[in-house]
Amino acid sequence: MNLDLLKGSRTRILAVIILGILAIFVVRLFYLQVMQHGHYINIAKTKQESRFAIPASRGEIYAMSGDQPVQMVMNEKVYTVFADPATVTNKDKVVDTLKQIAGGNVRDNFASLLDNKESRYQILATKVTRTQADKIKDADLNGIGFQEVSQRVYPEGGLGGQILGFVDTTGNGQYGLEGYENDALKGVDGYLKAVTDVNSVPLTIGNDNINKPAQNGKNIVMSVDRNVQSYVESALGNGLKKNGAKKGSVLVMNPTNGKILAMANLPTYNPAEYNQVTDIAAFNNDTISAPYEPGSDVKTYTLAAGIDKGVVKASDTYYNTDKIKVNDIVVSNATLGHTGNITFQTALTWSLNTGFVTIAQRLGDGTNITKSARDVMYDYFHNRFGLGSLTGVELANEAKGTVISPDEVQGNAVRYSNMSFGQGLDATLIQVAAGFSSIINGGNYYKPTVINGYMTDDGYEQNPAPQPTRSGVVAKATSDQVKAATHTARASSFGSTDKPGYYIGGKTGTSQVIVNGQYSNNETVGTYLGYGGGSIDSPQYVIMVQVSGTGQELGGAKDALPIFTDISNWMLGYLNVQPKG
Amino acid sequence: MSHYQNNYYTSRRQQNWSRNQNTTRFVSSVKLGPVAHTVLVALMITVLGLIYLTQATRTTGYDYQSQKIESQIADLNNQKSDLQVENARLTALSTVKDSAVAKTMTAPANTEYVQQ
């Protein structure tokens, strides 16, 4: 049979038309599938691919309890309950269920919020626990949704609030360790880009999927001991009740490695309720943020410098008239009556300013506080003991303080005469305590630290033993003499308050406050700086106490020392320090 | 050999024969034309394509299982975190101090150390 179509036949024409239509289809398909391939692939990817941020968990903060880390700051998943008023069908049931299950977490006027049918989003309750959220979900309420939120939780309440700091609503740490180590604690969010189905379930289709896991924040283990912190806060509170001071600060540290065992300030705040604080000053950790004129505590520094330079010993004498002239000013003693030839030990015990101005003069030509004397004092106070410099402790908002260099016009003999007994300079508690630690531990300056190590998936990883930042700040012999002198100073007046058999030493400080550019006559800050241990060779702790208040005259011996004694006697028992003899 | 053909058998086109070999072979009465052939080929290609698709997307079936398991893991981790928080609250200093056991304890009147 001949299948060729006849030329000009209608069948042939139909065949040509059909072929033409098919050719149009083929060309169109070629255009869409080959030439527009990239364009449609991109549209498909836009619709099919989803991007998710994988939030990183914020690192936890631990404290020590003896030699075991315990959790101080943790994370908790809580839920925000919201409603779409337009889709809520049973308002009464919603109100009753929320009141029953989440009564303490609902907003004040949440029932009326459901009447606003034009709104599509109203928050009804916040910080609802997972158990509460599950119960609400079981009630199967229309128009109710949940938003998961991670929040910080503080099992120890307000303990160490100013050391810890808090996390604000943007998820960033403020103040304290949360602020200083925010980057380490925050971690790095992860990222997931994948093709998803209609329920947003990621699928392993395609070659462009990206799955970058989140890096959770580091879990920091502090050197702060929660038991010491708790006792210190309690002792400080009791002390302020007794002496009526409006403010107080205590710092406890290990002088042999720079580790901070406790830091307390009153008034304080609870980091879980930071948004209820009315006075922003409560966020500040005064032990690191509030420089002040340290006063007579610094006489230990002057004595150390004098002994180390070989110009004095505690047993050397000078002639005390209760007054001493420096250029055109006269420095007087606060305690009068110990006139005549007295030892520098007596000057230390009775905190006689004239003795320490004399040491400053002996660092010079014996009569004047010369430039070389001021250079020596600056070297010891600033370069060796660290006054007027940031210590580098891992807490936010550390203040530097001020020690005027002898090369400046203000660094004259009058200023340095004041500096010899702790005025004319500004320093924070932590600077003074760290410098004092270096004097009594044999001459090694350790950077103060609040970090002991990190908690990892493998357990607790302690940092290597701290090494001195500066060695030989004073000679060992100088260290022993200063310890002996401060021990004698304490024992002669306050030794009966210490537990027998232990080696405790310290120095009182009562410093004037500058008000409106002048030293005030009716406001003083009381401090006590001391150490304790089983023997002269083994100081176990340094404690510094400061009490103050606007318009209050507070004394080192009268107001700060009792708080030191309370904490010192407790520390001896807590650390199981064995008495000698 | 003469060529033989009817509706069911046709001669084999062979020149050399072996013993006991049939000289005819069975022929089916079902005949397929060119359209039927084309449809069959298209169907076979379609089936092969479907087999390819099911195998290629088989892994996505596992995605749902793994997503379910991950969801369970996340749930268990949340429960674990809640228990850790609860444990921390129960072992907090303030809780311990206020406990019935602590309330019956007193400070020692005297502490002595054994000399080592």
Cβ contacts (< 8 Å) between A155 and chain B: which residues? Answer: 85, 88-89, 91-92
B65 touches chain A (CB under 8 A): no
| Nearest neighbour of B82 by CB, restricted to A130, A203, A579 | A130
Name residue A546's beta-bridge partners.
A249, A527
* A176 domain-assigned: no
Residues B89, B94: Cα–Cα separation, whole Å: 9
- Residues of chain A whose beta carbon is less than 8 angstroms from a beta carbon of chain B are 70-71, 74-77, 129-130, 153, 155-157, 159, 201-205, 226-227, 230, 573, 578-579
Kindly indicate whether the ipTM for this predicted assembly is greater than 0.95, answering yes or no: no
B64 touches chain A (CB under 8 A): yes
C-alpha pair distances (Å), A485 with each of A245, A337, A340, A473, B3: 29, 21, 20, 18, 135
**B88, closest residue in chain A (CA to CA):** A155
- Chain-chain contact of A573 with B92 (C-beta, under 8 angstroms): no
B75 touches chain A (CB under 8 A): no
B55 touches chain A (CB under 8 A): no
Q: What is the pLDDT of residue A51?
A: 83
Cβ contacts (< 8 Å) between B116 and chain A: which residues? Answer: 578
Cβ contacts (< 8 Å) between B82 and chain A: which residues? Answer: 76-77, 129-130
- Domain interval for residue A258: 224-574
B81 touches chain A (CB under 8 A): yes
Q: What is the pLDDT of residue A464?
A: 96
Residues A76, A55: Cα–Cα separation, whole Å: 14
Mean of pLDDT over chain B: 84
Query: Tell me, what CATH number does A305's domain have?
Result: 3.40.710.10
| Residue carrying structure tokens 């936010």 | A396
**A576, closest residue in chain B (CA to CA):** B113
Q: How far is B93 from chain A (nearest CA, A)?
A: 7
Which of A558, A524, A565, A521 minimizes the C-alpha distance to A543? A565
Q: How far is B92 from chain A (nearest CA, A)?
A: 5
In chain A, the number of structural domains is: 1
B57 touches chain A (CB under 8 A): yes
* A79 domain-assigned: no
- Chain-chain contact of A578 with B113 (C-beta, under 8 angstroms): yes
C-alpha pair distances (Å), A376 with each of A239, A296, A382, A413, A444: 38, 19, 10, 13, 18
Q: What is the pLDDT of residue B3?
A: 60
Q: Are A462 and A277 in contact (CB under 8 A)?
A: no
More confident call, A76 vs B59: A76
| DSSP secondary structure, B45-73, as one string | HHHHHHHHHHHHTHHHHHHHHHHHHHHHH
- Chain-chain contact of A157 with B92 (C-beta, under 8 angstroms): yes
| Nearest neighbour of B88 by CB, restricted to A77, A155, A578 | A155
**B89, closest residue in chain A (CA to CA):** A155
Residue B115's pLDDT band (cuts 50, 70, 90): low
* A484 domain-assigned: yes
| Nearest neighbour of B113 by CB, restricted to A205, A227, A579 | A579
Per-residue pLDDT tens digits of chain A, which is 581 residues long: 555 666 778 888 999 999 999 999 999 999 999 999 999 989 988 888 888 888 899 999 999 999 999 999 999 988 999 999 888 888 899 999 999 998 888 888 888 888 888 888 889 998 898 889 989 989 888 889 898 888 999 999 999 999 999 999 889 999 999 999 999 999 999 988 888 887 777 777 777 788 899 999 999 999 999 999 999 999 999 999 999 999 999 999 999 999 999 999 999 999 999 999 999 999 999 999 999 999 999 999 999 999 999 999 999 999 999 999 999 999 999 999 999 999 999 999 999 999 999 999 999 999 999 999 999 999 999 999 999 999 999 999 999 999 999 999 999 999 999 999 999 999 999 999 999 999 999 999 999 999 999 999 999 999 999 999 999 999 999 999 999 999 999 999 898 999 999 999 999 999 988 888 888 888 999 999 999 999 999 999 999 999 999 999 999 999 999 999 999 999 999 999 998 85
| Nearest neighbour of A201 by CB, restricted to B67, B84, B93 | B67
Q: How many CB pairs under 8 A join A and B?
A: 51
- Chain-chain contact of B81 with A76 (C-beta, under 8 angstroms): yes
Pairing of strands A219-225, A61-65: parallel
Q: What is the pLDDT of residue A5?
A: 64
Q: How far is A354 from chain B (nearest CA, A)?
A: 43
Q: How far is A304 from chain B (nearest CA, A)?
A: 34
| Spans of all domains in chain B | 9-99
More confident call, A507 vs B9: A507
B99 touches chain A (CB under 8 A): no
More confident call, B74 vs B48: B48
Residues A383, B65: Cα–Cα separation, whole Å: 65
* A32 domain-assigned: no
Judge if pTM exceeds 0.95: no
Q: Left, alpha or beta for A311 (phi > 0: left; psi -120 to 50: alpha)?
A: alpha
- Chain-chain contact of B63 with A202 (C-beta, under 8 angstroms): yes
Which one of A71, A207, A578 makes the best mutation probe of the B interface by having the most chain B beta carbons within 10 Å? A71
Confidence check: pLDDT of B60 > 80: no
Cβ contacts (< 8 Å) between A74 and chain B: which residues? Answer: 81, 84-85, 88
The secondary structure of chain A in percent helix, strand, coil, rounded to multiples of 5, reads 40, 30, 35
* Token reading at A27: 């060309």
- Chain-chain contact of B91 with A578 (C-beta, under 8 angstroms): no
Per-residue pLDDT tens over the stretch B78-104: 889 999 999 999 999 988 888 888 888
